[in-house]
Amino acid sequence: MKDLTSTTFGYLIAFLLPGIFGLYALSFWFPQVGILLLPILKADTSVGPSFVFLVIAVGIGVCISGLRYFIFEKGIYRKAPLPPGTYHGMSGDELTLHKAIVDEHYRYHQFYGGCAVALLILFVGWLTHSHPTWSQISGWSLGFVAFGLLLERSACDSFTKYDNCRRERHNEKVRAAAK
């Protein structure tokens, strides 16, 4: 039987949670999104609205993950890609190990990076649509920046661990082939 726990948890933190945060952030930009969120917050909510909410949140999470990929992996971190064919011909054990590395490191990078992107959307939406006072702007800006830096550093740490593990596995494979 396939172990679904770590994979399912990985998808939840990589896509669903940033998607829920992203939906909340979009409610500052589009009031209709806030109206969509109202039935979910009621105690007597039925399965229908909850299911629709989860599907939309996953969709938003996947979109946020795309932004995260270009901002963090292509823009900020710019790690050199592994050579083509690295994943070609993996044995079952190698594939299982690679999936474990993804679940233990990369999914956390997706969560932290996705939340950082959603936080940026939230901050700009709050700033432009809530009409805060200057004192609110200065106080909340410090909080947003501190939380954003915490998320970015956490995303960087998780991505570095993931990248180091996959490069180590690749180098082991190259050394074994050279023997």
pLDDT per position as a tens digit, 92-144: 888 888 888 888 899 999 999 999 999 999 999 999 988 889 999 999 999 99
Instruction: Name the residue range of residue 80's domain.
Output: 5-178
In the chain, how long is the greatest CA-to-CA distance?
67
Residue 1, pLDDT above cutoff 50: no
Q: What is the mean pLDDT of residues 23-48?
A: 82
Element (H, E) at 35: helix 31-41
Between these two residues, 25 and 7, which has the higher pLDDT value?
25
Distance from chain centroid for Cα 118: 9
Q: How many domains does the chain have?
A: 1
